[in-house]
Chains A and B, each alone.
Chain A
Amino acid sequence: MSDDSVPLALPLLAAGTSEVTTLYRELRKPLLRYLVCLGLTSDEAQDVVQDAFLSLQRHLASDGTQENIRGWLFRVAHNQARNRQTSYHRRFSEPLDGEMDFLTDDATPEQAVLEKEKFRRLATGIRMLTESERECLLLRAGGLRYREIGEVLGIATSTVGDTVERAIKKLAEKCDV
């Protein structure tokens, strides 16, 4: 199945709500990236994304609010990921040192070495971050605004700003990126 393909169950349930399909094509990849970076496996992340969009369809069918759908989807996915992580006692994804060869197949040997080293330093810095800082950075990388991040994590917008700033400075200063 390609990245942008829509599972069979979704258009059937969302018949008449083509905006759900459009949202699926737009937000599936950012959601998957956020979930696997949180530590979920590929299968778990895809299950969570599927469940989140089914919940969105039910939410819209029951005349739920249509404001900030992106933040709503990330919040649902985040909560489901948290439940699964609690169930399996899983933490943030460890740096995939052994799998970086796959990522730099097309690069020259020098570029590959530099890229690996850069990722290694960043991974070291990510391990130093608090859970809240990691989540803020991941949601920010997913395109969410501070207000949306605050809604997902249940914290104030100003707190999000402070957390993001602290996390970026840690990565920049301690990891010398």
Chain B
Amino acid sequence: MGEVLRHALAIAGKDLRLEFRSRTAFLSALVFTALVLAIFQFARDPTAVSAVDLAPGILWITFCFAGLLGLNRAFALERENRALDGLLLSPASRTALYLGKVLANLVFVGLVEAIALPLFAIFFNVPVLGVLGPLVAVIALATIGFVAVGTLMSSISVSTRFAELMLPVLMLPFLMPPITAAVQMTARIFAGRPFSETIGWLKLLVAYDVAFLVVCILVFEHTIEE
């Protein structure tokens, strides 16, 4: 187990080093996120709908788009020059490879979210500081589920035709439960509702994370057999 974690950390470290030396994907994901947030402002009627009512939906649609952008990158890099073959020849197990990719994606998507959240609070005048704790917890839980499935799907989609189109088509049905849960919880958190009203959604989200993380680890090896 320690071995797997060490290898996973090494793979995640390699991916993140690669990313932050060029910063292309990170910066474009960031600008894209800011753009989506700005577009949302003009996609609503400010005299009819207050920003706070739309805020949870805006936040999660934005995160969802940003995440999809980041996920395509994880295995696309490995397919170029067949770098994946090198990884498969290394002593790292398939589970370590999957977990490493998940970790790198979590850091990538998490950083984009960490910068997008204050931007969102400023753009839509939503007071997030008072509810930062629960909000971050919801974002973290939803992102884990999203990245667990997304990492597996991107390992499938990169070796298909029309890879960029394939990932959203495969991913979006899987995003429906975590996004619904996250939006519902975010709305209740912003509205200052008691914790008891979010517990059902919280259970659903945690169950989703555990179930998909476990099954994805089990089936991942079948997506990279050469």
Interaction A to B: no
Residues of B within 8 A of A (CB): none
Residues of A within 8 A of B (CB): none
